[in-house]
Amino acid sequence: MDFVSRFRRASVPRLDAPVPASTTRTRALARVAGLAVAGAMIASLAAVGTVAASGPRTLYVAPSGHDSGSCTWARPCRTIGHAVDAAPAGSTIVVRHGTYHEQVFVSKRLTLEGQSATIDASGLLGGPGMVMPGVNIVGMGVLISGPEANGTVFKGFRVENAPAEGILVAMTSRVSILHNELVHNDRGATKTFNPLPSECAAQGPIPGDCGEGIHFLSVSYSRAAGNNVHDNVGGFLLTDELGPTHGNLIASNISRNNKLDCGITLPSHNGDAVADPTKGGVYQNTIIHNVSEGNGGAGVGMFAPFPGTASYDNYVIDNTLRNNGEAGVAIHSHAPGQNVNGNVIVGNRISGNGVDPDYVDTTTHIGIMLGSVADSVGVTVAWNWISHENVGIYRVGPINAAELGSNHFSSVGTHIH
């Protein structure tokens, strides 16, 4: 078995695996202050909704339905939110073809199946339990949140026009986000809302990103697979403001033309992540078989922006990363006291990507960017196919990159800098 195949087999996490033991710039920095005090949101949101029956059942939603109905096949509900409130934990909600102008909040284990159904969150900033005093977490199209939502499945929907994230999964685990289309979300980045979602607020020269198309915030052992995420501010975002994000699988998705940020971003925003991996850190996540192209930032990025943050031991395997505005893959350590060690970049096809203004300049096109301003960083970069770049692999600072000689280069000016 070759090197790439071994990593493909070994690095994909089991969603039922135990929690692992701890190991040793983006625009999303704007959300740190707003989300640091957001733990109370989960407890409050969990109180929303009522149980209408004692056991799981299948409920139906249709544009022709009525929320005074029983949500049966013959008498469907009119809104997804009403069906969610009425559904006992463990139920399935089938949403028929049509457009639903609402936000959807899930705080218990449910399966939501869209049958060519569209959730249009145009201009919707809040709803019951979504706006907390002093915490500006508003504007997402779909929110799946809290420990009781463990095991929720959300599949087959189009989610569009949310002021913030299309789908926000927060402080839960084993959630599956499957075969959805996310388009034209993060509208708060370019429009004025009152109140403005915290994710959209600029912090100094750093503009807000509004949380991207799909955001895993302090989430474990969950997966996003087969989704088409395009024409948002950014694609996928995995962060750790309220606890670690680890053991997740981002597989077989398309992240395309998200013009203001990265295709798939794994930044740590928690200053306790290095000292205590139970409090923060973005680690042991697998990014595999995705296409990330035409995005404004990096194709895939792992970033530690300030002391104490950590994005480490992640796997970036067998992805197609092309024509992005910044490097195909980027690892950044911006200050002392961070951890971006152990990340693995293997078997990717990388071509025609852009620059890295943080470490190099605005003219040099780079396939893989590895940068650290202080701490020694150990990574594995192996068996990638890199073409049509000025520099194939660019290193700045104390970088120890294993397996560099195994990479392949074509139409690359400088193979390894």
Mean pLDDT value of segment 176-188: 95
Q: What is the pLDDT at residue 32?
A: 41
Report residue 163 as tokens.
């002021």
Q: Phi-psi category of 98—alpha, beta or left, where left has phi over 0 and alpha has psi -120 to 50?
A: left
Band (49; pLDDT cuts 50, 70, 90): very low
For residue 119, give the DSSP letter. E
Answer yes or no: is pLDDT of 39 > 80. no
Answer yes or no: is pLDDT of 124 > 80. yes
Task: Write out pLDDT tens, residues 253-279.
Answer: 999 999 999 999 999 999 999 999 999
Task: Write out pLDDT tens, residues 155-178.
Answer: 999 999 999 999 999 999 999 999
Q: What is the pLDDT at residue 48?
A: 42
Answer yes or no: is pLDDT of 19 > 50. no
Answer yes or no: is pLDDT of 60 > 70. yes
359-395 burial code (b ≥16 CB/10 A, e <16): bbeeebbbbbbbbbeebebebbbbbbbbbbbbbbbbb
Going along the chain from its start, the domains and CATH numbers come out as 3-416 (2.160.20)
Q: What is the pLDDT at residue 210?
A: 77
Mean pLDDT value of segment 206-223: 87
> Which are the contacts of 10, defined by CB distance < 8 A and separation ≥ 6?
none
> Which are the contacts of 317, defined by CB distance < 8 A and separation ≥ 6?
4, 7, 8, 11, 286, 287, 288, 289, 344, 346, 347, 348
> Which are the contacts of 113, defined by CB distance < 8 A and separation ≥ 6?
92, 93, 94, 95, 153, 155, 156
Considering only CA atoms, which of 350, 210, 355, 340 is closest in space to residue 281?
340
Mean pLDDT value of segment 50-54: 47
Q: What is the pLDDT at residue 55?
A: 87
Answer yes or no: is pLDDT of 27 > 50. no
Residue with more model confidence, 204 or 121: 121
Band (69; pLDDT cuts 50, 70, 90): confident
33: how many CB neighbours lie within 10 A of its CB? 14
Measured distance CA(201)–CA(220) in Å, rounded: 27
Q: What is the pLDDT at residue 211?
A: 85
Task: Write out pLDDT tens, residues 298-351.
Answer: 999 999 989 999 999 999 999 999 999 999 999 999 889 999 999 999 999 999
Helix (H) or strand (E) holding 7: helix 3-11
Q: For residue 5, give Cα distances in angstroms to 278, 347, 383.
A: 31, 9, 11
pLDDT, averaged across the chain: 87
For residue 110, give the DSSP letter. -
Mean pLDDT value of segment 353-368: 95
Q: What is the pLDDT at residue 6?
A: 56
Answer yes or no: is pLDDT of 138 > 50. yes
For residue 310, give the DSSP letter. B
Strands (E), 179-235: 181-183, 214-217, 223-225, 228-230
Q: What is the pLDDT at residue 301?
A: 97
Q: Is 43 exposed, middle or buried (0-12, 13-18, 19+ CB in 10 A)?
A: exposed
Q: Is 403 exposed, middle or buried (0-12, 13-18, 19+ CB in 10 A)?
A: middle
Band (26; pLDDT cuts 50, 70, 90): very low
Measured distance CA(135)–CA(152) in Å, rounded: 25
Band (132; pLDDT cuts 50, 70, 90): very low
Residue with more model confidence, 368 or 198: 368
Dump the DSSP string for 361-406: -SS--EEEEEEESSS-EEEEEES-EEEEEEEEEEEESSEEEETGGG
Mean pLDDT value of segment 177-193: 89
Q: What is the pLDDT at residue 208?
A: 66
Measured distance CA(104)–CA(120) in Å, rounded: 10
Dihedral sign (CA 265, 269, 275, 278): negative
Band (131; pLDDT cuts 50, 70, 90): very low
Q: Which strand ranges, in their side-by-side order, compose the sheet holding 311-312?
A: 245-246, 282-283, 311-312
Answer yes or no: is pLDDT of 36 > 70. no
For residue 80, give the DSSP letter. H
Answer yes or no: is pLDDT of 191 > 70. yes
